[in-house]
Structure 1
Amino acid sequence: MNSEKQYIDLYNAAGRMIREHSVPVMNAVRDEAFADFQRQGFPTQKVERYKYTDIQKLFEPDYGLNLNRLEIPINPYEVFRCGVPNLSTSLYFVVNDSFYTKALPKVSLPEGVIVDSLSAVASKKPDFIAKYYACLAKTGEDALTALNTMLAQDGLVVYVPRNVKVERTIQIVNILRSDVDLMANRRVLIVMEEGAEAKLLFCDDSADDRNFLSTQVIEVYVGDNATLDLYCLEETHAKNHRVSNVYVEQQANSRFNHNVITLHNGVTRNKLDLMLKGEGAECWANGCVIADKTQHVDNNTLIDHQVGHCESHELYKYVLDDRATGAFAGRILVRKDAQKTTSNEVNQNLCATKTAHMYTQPMLEIYADDVKCSHGSTVGQLNDAALFYMRQRGIDRQEAKLLLEFAFVNEVIDNIRLAPLRDRLHHLVEMRFRGELKGCGGCKSCK
């Protein structure tokens, strides 16, 4: 049986229930997404952008879904303490795929800023949501986006009005909570109007030792002269499988900074599609992966320079131990009219054991003739000479190995603009290399 058949049967049997517990703006595109999913099916590894992850295998198990939107018994504000020392945040929670509304941060946001569930905003401003929802995330071009669009029943909206600067970081903690194996389908819509500024921190955590599968689609609109920093930190467990697709559209003179950090996981597949549609736009895409045992992390990126005078900077680093597998495929597309483009792409990887595997595929596709573009990748092992040098000075092998690995990924962490978060990540990464990182300090649910 094909993996997609159970989801086709599910939609045919439970489509009415899905609609009843959702909102018209999401239902309006649901049937088209279903048709697109039926036509495409799950991508095989013969599909270029999915060649390094067996998607069909991920979706084979029979996961439960909360289609009736039953209340999940958890108060995340009492259980989780996912704080960053010296960083004051406006803290919100998403439990599985539902925005947690029973308790909200006491700190008020600037006037006009919205952080709320998609269904709540759609009930008040349906035309606003319809203007953006499922427009960047095209279901006809990606089967996993189609699956998420046909099954997602709610989501999160972050909206910052024109020329509003949100000083306090907005932190969203995604919690996976269930007594049975569960699939969650998250949807996120981020709209930054002209001149707006904000910093968002997304943290993925698991509250239970169950098999989880989450699909996530994030649509991001960055208006003229707007600035958005988006930090995504994953600290789940080996039974967690996550597929995340991020779609970004940048207008003139906008700034977008995306950082994805994977510290603990089972199987992770991240896709980033970033379109530079206005002159003077700049983007930074940074990634840090630390994986061991049999963990698998696959990052696939596309930066599409559609107009001239834009800049993109991309840096992904992996440290793989034991039998971990990593993959990076990054494509820089410079279209014919995108003259005066500046772009650089770097992927560097460290395999600490001979049984760790890394696949890397940096790509440049240039149709303009007045550009400055570069790309490159490296895959290597620990430097034996450096290890010998450090051991000669009294540092044991394990500590020397840790120091070299830590120094290797520092460049990515140092690119994080939030100083408290940068310091916290330095600490978490060191703990991760030492095998001491079990979860966030202070969390009552940490094992």
Structure 2
Amino acid sequence: MSNALTQYIGLFEQNRETVCGNSAGKLNTLRDEALAQLRDAHLPDKNCEGFEKTSIDEMFSPDYGVNISRVNIPVDVAASFKCDVPSLSTLLGLVINDSFHPTSKLESKLPEGVFFGSLKRAASELPEIVNRYYGEIAPMGEASVALNTLLAQDGVLIYVPRGVKIQRPLQLVNIFSSPISLAAFRRLLIVLDEGAEMQLLVCDHTQDTANSYLGSQIAEVYVGAGARFEACSIEESSVNTSRYSRMFVRQERDSHFSFNSTTLTCGTTRNEFSIDLNGENAETHLAGMVIGSGNMHIDNDSAIRHLSPRCRSNQLFKYVLDDASTAAFEGGILVAPGAQFTEAYQSNRNILASTEARMHCKPQLEIYNDDVKCSHGATTGQLDNEALFYMRSRGIPEAEARTMLMQAFMVDVIDSVHISGLRERLLHLVDRRFSGTLGDCSGCRSTDCHE
């Protein structure tokens, strides 16, 4: 067992009553199973396949505080909506460190039957939903899932009943802010019943840069038959923030799932996407955009499993790395023996804007059926010198020309977003990121468009 796990297991065993007393329902009933799974487990390190560039054990090893007593930590919520976090017309909920906080009008604006709120509260008010799905999609046999299950005391449930189509996007803002270095065990459960439709924007934000933070994030997503779910995640954190985010998705027949992951600033980030297309004619679109600079490290890993006939998936990940930033992408496609007529495509394109930046990519196909259309490709290179020369010959300064080329490189990833107003906002954020002004809020007003 790793030292990282030892310290967290010890924390739980010494404070079991406090941990459970500040939680409820199935969140508590799964803790013994999680503890048993962790006894002989270890978090992945660089000796484990798929983690050669990112050690999860090293990420979790520092001595972070954990707010198991649920001490109220004051947070300037308005500060998270100056410049960097998109201000859209959304229905907004907040996770402050690891506790859910609704905005004042959230519940009154939700359609009847829709739940967007505290997972702890849902465990008491909607036990049939929480009991059926919580801990059932993410595999408890994996150490990081078991650890999150052991220590998560709250989280977020988004439930959309059968046939309900939410007209306005939901927005979930995760905020780190604390007087001490802190680890947060965040849990997200999303359930769309048959024929339901929803859009979601998730923003990760670190308000102060003095302390170190660790985010353990597990998301379980169920997309029922004929349901449609589109989501976008934007990370804008600090150089002292580490994040291990894992999303597990189960799709039924005729369902549609689309997810865009954008990393603008961070310290160390590992994102994993595990998607099962369980029903015939299900469709998945997965896109990612990374802008690395300084000593940032960003690692994206995808595994899409085609388990039923006539399903389609498309993956597109693009990276621009500058300075001494490092990154990785490992993408997998599995086509099961019974998944005939599968269409699955994967593309990874990368630009190294400095001689010190490093990129590792490893696309993988595992196909057990002949009647399929599948392809993958990966390229890593530098900015187009001919295009750069042409732009400079037209009087465009070199720094501006480089920025324009990097912006153009990301356009097709941004175009994959269909949430109203977000595509334009992403273009603005990317422009500011490449120009070096992201996070500079001087002269800005905080505009609150949320309810």
**TM over 0.5: same fold?**
yes
Q: Distance in 2 between matches of 1:111 and 1:29?
A: 30
Question: Aligned ranges for residues 85-124 of structure 1 at < 5 Å?
Answer: 87-101=88-102, 103-105=104-106, 108-124=109-125
Q: SS state of the match for residue 56, structure 1? A: helix
Q: SS state of the match for residue 50, structure 1? A: coil
2:126 match = 125
More moved, 4-13 vs 215-224: 4-13
1:174 match = 174
Unaligned 5+ runs, structure 1: none
Report if aligned partners of 2:94, 2:101 keep a CA contact under 8 Å in 1.
yes
2:183 match = 183
**1:151 correspondence with 2:151:** yes
2:367 match = 366
Letter in 2 for 1:418: I
Structure-2-length-normalised TM-score: 0.95
Report if aligned partners of 1:235, 1:439 keep a CA contact under 8 Å in 2.
no
**Structure 1, residues 104-129: CA drift from partner, whole Å, max 9, x if none?**
43751111111010111111222321
1:20 match = 21
More moved, 193-202 vs 119-128: 119-128
Report if aligned partners of 2:93, 2:117 keep a CA contact under 8 Å in 1.
no
Q: Distance in 1 between matches of 2:286 and 2:440?
A: 26
Q: Distance in 2 between matches of 1:100 and 1:64?
A: 21
Q: SS state of the match for residue 199, structure 1? A: strand
Q: Distance in 1 between matches of 2:21 and 2:445?
A: 39
Q: Distance in 2 between matches of 1:391 and 1:107?
A: 55
Q: Distance in 2 between matches of 1:205 and 1:118?
A: 21
Shift, 1:70, TM fit:
1.3
Aligned CA distance change for structure 1 residues 185 and 135 (closer, same or farther; 3 Å): same
More moved, 357-366 vs 206-215: 206-215
Q: Distance in 2 between matches of 1:223 and 1:439?
A: 42
Shift, 1:40, TM fit:
1.6
Q: Distance in 1 between matches of 2:227 and 2:316?
A: 22
Report if aligned partners of 1:249, 1:277 keep a CA contact under 8 Å in 2.
yes
**Structure 1, residues 133-178: CA drift from partner, whole Å, max 9, x if none?**
00011120x2111111111001100000001000000011111110
1:261 match = 262
1:344 match = 345
1:379 match = 380
Q: SS state of the match for residue 432, structure 2? A: helix
2:315 match = 314
Report if aligned partners of 2:94, 2:103 keep a CA contact under 8 Å in 1.
no
**Structure 1, residues 305-364: CA drift from partner, whole Å, max 9, x if none?**
001100000000000000001100000000000000001000000000110000000100
Q: Distance in 2 between matches of 1:103 and 1:366?
A: 50
Q: Distance in 1 between matches of 2:94 and 2:281?
A: 35
Letter in 2 for 1:161: P
**Structure 1, residues 194-220: CA drift from partner, whole Å, max 9, x if none?**
000000000011122221001000000
Q: SS state of the match for residue 39, structure 2? A: helix
Report if aligned partners of 2:299, 2:327 keep a CA contact under 8 Å in 1.
yes
**Structure 1, residues 25-82: CA drift from partner, whole Å, max 9, x if none?**
1111112112212322111222223222022221121100100011122352586457
Q: Distance in 2 between matches of 1:234 and 1:276?
A: 27
Report if aligned partners of 2:203, 2:235 keep a CA contact under 8 Å in 1.
yes
More moved, 339-348 vs 433-442: 433-442
Identity %: 44
2:232 match = 231
Aligned CA distance change for structure 1 residues 271 and 231 (closer, same or farther; 3 Å): same
Shift, 1:102, TM fit:
7.0
Q: Distance in 2 between matches of 1:60 and 1:382?
A: 38
Report if aligned partners of 2:294, 2:322 keep a CA contact under 8 Å in 1.
yes
Shift, 1:439, TM fit:
6.1
Report if aligned partners of 1:136, 1:219 keep a CA contact under 8 Å in 2.
yes
Shift, 1:438, TM fit:
0.8
**1:333 correspondence with 2:334:** yes
Unaligned 5+ runs, structure 2: none
More moved, 102-111 vs 185-194: 102-111
**1:295 correspondence with 2:296:** yes
Letter in 1 for 2:288: G
Q: Distance in 2 between matches of 1:220 and 1:175?
A: 21
Report if aligned partners of 2:93, 2:103 keep a CA contact under 8 Å in 1.
no
Q: Which has the higher contact order (CA 8 A, sep 6+)?
A: 2
Aligned CA distance change for structure 1 residues 173 and 267 (closer, same or farther; 3 Å): same
Report if aligned partners of 2:339, 2:369 keep a CA contact under 8 Å in 1.
yes
Report if aligned partners of 2:315, 2:347 keep a CA contact under 8 Å in 1.
yes
CA RMSD of aligned residues (A): 1.7
Aligned CA distance change for structure 1 residues 69 and 102 (closer, same or farther; 3 Å): farther
